[in-house]
Structure 1
Amino acid sequence: MPYAPPPRTPPGRAPEPGRRSRRDPALLALAAGLALLVVAVAGAGWYGHGTGHARPPAARGTGAPPPGTAAPPAEGVTPPTGPALRTPGPVRVPGARELAAARQPGEGTSWIASDSTDLPRRSIRADGPWIVGDTVVRALFREVTAYRLADGAELRSPTLPTPVCEAPEHTTPDGRIVVVLATGTARRGARCDRFRMIGLRTGKAGWTKELLRADPTPDTPVLLAHTAISGDTLAVAEGTGAAAYRVGDGVRLFGVPAEEPGRCRPDQVAGGSRLLVGSLCATGADRRRSHSGLRELDPRTGAVRWRHRTPAGRSVERVASVDPVVYTSVDNDRLTDDWRIVAPGPRGEVRRTIDPRPQGFEHCVHSGIDAGLQPCPGIVVGHGLVHVGGTDRAGAYDLATGKLLRGIRTHDGRTLTPVGFRAAPGTIVYESATPSRPGRTFVLDGGGAGGEEVLLRHPAAAGAEYDTGAGRVLRVGGRVVVTPAHVSGDDARRQPRMASFAPGPD
């Protein structure tokens, strides 16, 4: 089911097998979602030493993950007699007062958001978060929930008629978004072709439409539409075509034509301050001859500003930044075993290609592939640098030279996720929690291992931080917001919906 992908790998564990790239022409000829195994990227050498910041394990907070649940007996089979097995309860999320009372000197403040909404017993995709004014908003299953940034109070949670399949990475400047809804709640057989505009500042729904295919010729259902917002323009790619619509009223603005001639079909979009369209340029079923195209379009008119293409045998996988444009490239056969960071120039030429594999960096912090052009967790671009993270390590490359300027490595399996940068040279990094130790936020500069500046010590009492899985991490001012990329619908393993940390009073 498009809105129920596999769960994200928790921090400190080996990545789950990925899926073959969406740009594999042989798979397009068979089915858009055929799952194949990939081996997660593994790094070879490293350039630094331990961080030198080891601290004694903190007591696990009230959000400790429950032990595994025993599989239920098969239908018609009588379970064996004997002592009753303990049924694990859901993760208990501490309240604001409890967290405040347990906070130790030097620790930041925190809040943990929970939700008692009943979910199907499977992995549910979570979209967002989006920062809108003084709120942070997430879409999960049939709800779009807004929390107050200051204290995590739930402000509104309108219910949608059917589950959310997909949502853009960005909103309009005034906080509107368009979510893609399934045609029904069934796990199988539903299509993702209903669109609803929502004002995230108020939670009120606007127009709802079944947007037509950009290319209506193929008589096949839309299984999953990828979307992006740039300004007031919504771009929709359906795997065989793309079109743009006005967010305000859903009126179609323009279609995105195929190129070369007819071989490069637009299949992906990325938004933000620029509108990018990715294309699959297939030559039959030969992956070694196929490549990807990338175009920047004027979001109001559809005019092409520049074009870029990958070498034969490689594809655009994720867009890490649209200003400047930086994307990840993967080999059509080896996928994330052979990935690069690529920065096109102002005319679409290749400005810089960086190979992060020798340092052991993982593609978008092992978030997998085949999930749209955005986001790419773990890669942040700014101040002429590409900040990259992964399990046990983080670093920064110079876009002008392609050289690694600084890096750090830990030894306890935590995921290090760059979340920003400072005007002075420095990468702001979130270090994920473990079952026994809280996370933290620090600045990695050029001073070498052990010299990092701790910005925020996360409270040990907020043990539910680990259960978020650190799927997405945002930094808003001095506050860090951590959210899962997928949420389990198993009541015995209920996860927190969001965790947030901020500097506390001295």
Structure 2
Amino acid sequence: MTQPPPPPPPNQPPPGYGYPQGGPNPYAQQPPYGSPAYGYPQQPQPAYPPPGPPQPPTPKGKLNAQAVIIVSAVAAIALIIGGGVWYSSTKDGRADAKSGDKNSTAGTTGGTGDSGGTGGGSGADKAPANTASKVLFQLPQPAIGADGNSATVDGSWLTDTVYAKSGFAEIVGYDPVKGTKLWTVPLPGPVCEASRHTTADHRTAIVYEPAMPTKDKPSHGCSQVAAIDLDAGKELWTRTVKSGDQAITLNNVTVSANTVAVGSTNGGAAFDISGKVLWAPKPTDTCYDAGYGGGEKLVAVRKCGAYGSRQLKIQTIDPVSGKVLSEYAMAKGIESASIVSTNPLVVAADVNYSAGDGSGISDFFSIDNKTGQLRTKISAPGDKYAAKCEGITKIEYCTKVVVGNDRLYLPTESHDGTGEYSKTNEIVAFDLATGKLDGQRADAGDGYTISPLTMDDGNVIAYKSPPYDKGGQVVSIDGGSFAQTKLMENPATKAVREVEFDMQPESAELIYADGRLYMSQVFADKPSTPGASDYLAIAYGTS
């Protein structure tokens, strides 16, 4: 007789509905930030430890020689707030707020926010005469101190003048071609989260801990949010968001236009890039903004009700006032959702925990920003498609999926290729108006697996993870014909391949722009072998 599954641990969502529910407190059953699957600091290593480089095939069976690398322009640092917050009620449940903090340094404001914030999308990425790349520079992993074996180093950004990367309790700016250090922004504690977007003048935001971990206190909570000027290499201000006298733990951060927005199980807050408080959680509110998606528009994932009977509202909001411009109410019982794109608005969710593969995606929802009406729902079974979202707390953390041309571009799961022992996959496109596949596909080629990274002037920029004896490739996929143009092929030498293969999907960030590819870790670990050389980032460029 088949035994029923055991109940889930208290900080994990159940595999389905029907488990006994908790009391009326809507927050009591919320999986806490810091759970092993999603949060710092209880993640001493990636949720899926990166395997070693793919090995040559053997006659014992078919091997998956792919090291599919994810795009995640993830940012991870936080800012500190001092002083109290006063509230006044608003119709939509958000609260206007004024801060008593007198320690902030107001920076100049920028223009409208970009759609990616981390490079790419310029329309200038054309095939070079020679697509063979060379290593521009490699950055060694930072020392993470004696009180831990790993640390979060989320966050990487690219501007015209700097490649910035988070280290252990710092943000460092490098020359984007030479890799020489330009500036350092030290932080009092480790990075937790980082915005994937910037303002028009290259300012972004991070969440971090207020102190360094110790053996007695390995976590101090991700309570600090800060604004960083990437071109100047300066911290502009730091803030906290309070519930009563307590600084609350912040789960995510994003930037839209000139607004920095942070979400948590206690509610959401927002600041102007100059440091002015725009809104803050209302203590009597029974709903809360779990997080936000940024870029061209600002979208809130608002949660109401107790765990197990949750009601999610996807709200496009004004980035200055927080006023709700449109709202889509998801079916009750969907516990979490991720923002894939804010314009056009695309949301991913694991409905009834049916994905079955840990991807956090069973369906995509295409929503009209202006009316809040559902345009179409796209079924994306986990055994067919390889995108991933971590929507419980990381509302904007989706990888291997891009939106453009009113299309949703997804990679298929890898499958046997035509060559012996080879694996391969494809990128396909769904129409966001009809929900139907458009019939076109971009094949990775035998031995390669392909993942979309970003959009560039209507074309899809994608990364091809290589077989064991070759380097990875970057290609441009024509948005109309789906014809592929190779933009870059990385060196196949063993030493370079090993660094590239180490940048695995669950533990790497990729940025491609202007003929250069930047790959970086999101975790820094102590070397497994004394004297071993581990790398935080590697940059490639074509001549």
Q: TM-score w.r.t. structure 2 length?
A: 0.66
> How far did 1:305 drift?
0.7
* Cα pair distance change 1:112/1:374, threshold 3 Å: farther
Gaps of 5+ in 1: 1-17, 41-57, 59-104
Aligned to 2:379: 355
For 1:212, the aligned partner's letter is: V
Alignment of 1:15-414 (within 5 A): 20=13, 28-29=27-28, 32-33=32-33, 35=35, 107-115=132-140, 117-120=142-145, 121-186=148-213, 188-209=218-239, 211-213=240-242, 216=243, 222-248=248-274, 250-255=275-280, 262-282=285-305, 284-285=306-307, 287=308, 289-334=309-354, 337=357, 339-345=362-368, 346-357=370-381, 360-364=384-388, 368-389=390-411, 391-392=413-414, 393=425, 394-405=427-438, 406-408=440-442
Match of 1:502 in 2: 541
Indicate how the Cα distance of structure 1 residues 154 and 344 shifts in structure 2: closer, same or farther if over 3 A, else same.
same
In structure 2, give the amino acid aligned to 1:458: N
Residue aligned with 2:326, SS: strand
Partner residue in 2 for 1:486: 523
Question: Structure 1: which amino acid aligns with 2:157?
Answer: W
Q: How many residues align?
A: 410
Q: Does 1:469 align with 2:504?
A: yes
Instruction: Give the structure 2 partner of residue 432 of structure 1.
Output: 465
CA pair 310-428 structure 1, distance change in 2 beyond 3 A: same
Structure 1 residue 395: Cα displacement: 2.0
Give the direction of change, closer, same or farther, for the CA distance of 1:398–1:123 in structure 2 (3 Å limit): farther
Q: CA deviation at 1:142?
A: 0.9
For residue 432 of structure 1, what is the amino acid of its counterpart?
Answer: S
Q: In the superposition, relative to structure 1, how do residues 267 and 465 fare at CA in structure 2: closer, same or farther (>3 Å)? A: same
Distance apart, 1:494 and its partner CA: 5.0
For the residues of structure 1 that align with 2:345 and 2:197, how far apart are their CA atoms?
Answer: 16
Which whole-Å CA distance do the structure 2 matches of 1:293 and 1:374 have between them?
15
Give me the whole-angstrom Cα distance separating, in 2, the residues matched to 1:380 and 1:245.
28
Q: Secondary structure at the match of 2:501?
A: helix
Q: Is the 8 A contact 1:397 1:403 kept in 2?
A: yes
Q: What is the CA–CA distance in structure 1 between the aligned matches of 2:343 and 2:398, rounded to whole Å?
A: 14
Give, in whole Å, the separation in 2 of the partners of 1:482 and 1:422: 18
Structure 1 counterpart of 2:61: none
Q: How far does residue 325 in structure 1 lie from its aligned partner after superposition? A: 1.1
CA contact (8 A) 1:19 1:370 kept: no
Q: 1:413 to 1:182 in 2, by over 3 A?
A: farther
Aligned to 2:250, the other structure's residue is in SS state: coil
CA contact (8 A) 2:355 2:381 kept: no
How far is the alpha carbon of 1:316 from its aligned partner? 4.5
Secondary structure of the 1:352 match is strand
Contact 2:447 2:466 in 1 (8 A): no
Q: 1:448 to 1:147 in 2, by over 3 A?
A: same
1:448, distance to aligned residue in structure 2 (A): 10
In structure 2, the CA distance between the partners of 1:404 and 1:182, relative to structure 1 (3 Å rule), is: same
Offset from partner CA, 1:40-94 (integer Å, 9 cap, x none): 9xxxxxxxxxxxxxxxxx9xxxxxxxxxxxxxxxxxxxxxxxxxxxxxxxxxxxx
Q: Distance in 2 between matches of 1:343 and 1:106?
A: 36
**C-alpha separation in 2, matches of 1:37 and 1:173:** 33
Distance, in Å, in 1 between the alignment partners of 2:286 and 2:188 is: 38
Partner of 1:458: 490
2:109 is matched with none
Query: What's the offset of the Cα at 1:417?
Result: 1.6
Q: Secondary structure at the match of 2:233?
A: coil
Per-residue deviation at 1:196?
3.0
Aligned in 2, Cα 1:325/1:489: closer, same or farther, shift over 3 Å? farther
Question: Which position in structure 1 is the counterpart of 2:52?
Answer: none
Alignment check: 8 A CA contact 1:439 1:458 kept: yes
Deviation by residue 1:246-305 (Cα, 9 ceiling, x = unmatched): 221x221223669xx9443211112112111111222x34x2x32311111111122211
Cα offsets for 1:363-419 (capped at 9, x unmatched)? 32xx64535112312111111211113653322222222222323455877552212
Q: Which amino acid aligns with 1:499?
A: I
**2:433, 2:225 → 1: CA distance?**
41
One-letter identity of the residue aligned with 2:469: S
**What secondary structure is seen at the aligned counterpart in 1 of 2:363?**
strand
- TM-score, with normalisation over the residues of structure 1? 0.71
- Pair 273,37 (structure 1): closer, same or farther in 2 beyond 3 Å: closer
C-alpha change, 1:413 and 1:240, in structure 2 (3 Å) is: farther
Q: How far did residue 112 of structure 1 move?
A: 3.5
Structure 2: how far apart are the matches of 1:422 and 1:329? 26
- Could you say what secondary structure the match of 2:362 adopts? strand
Unaligned runs of 5+ residues in structure 2 are 1-10, 39-46, 48-64, 66-129, 415-424
Cα offset, 1:503, TM superposition? 2.9
Q: CA deviation at 1:324?
A: 1.0
Which SS does the other structure have where 2:144 is aligned? coil
SS of the aligned residue for 1:206 comes to strand
- Within 2, Cα distance between the matches of 1:359 and 1:422? 29
Instruction: Report % sequence identity.
Output: 22
C-alpha distance in structure 1 between counterparts of 2:144 and 2:171, whole Å: 14
Contact 2:164 2:171 in 1 (8 A): yes
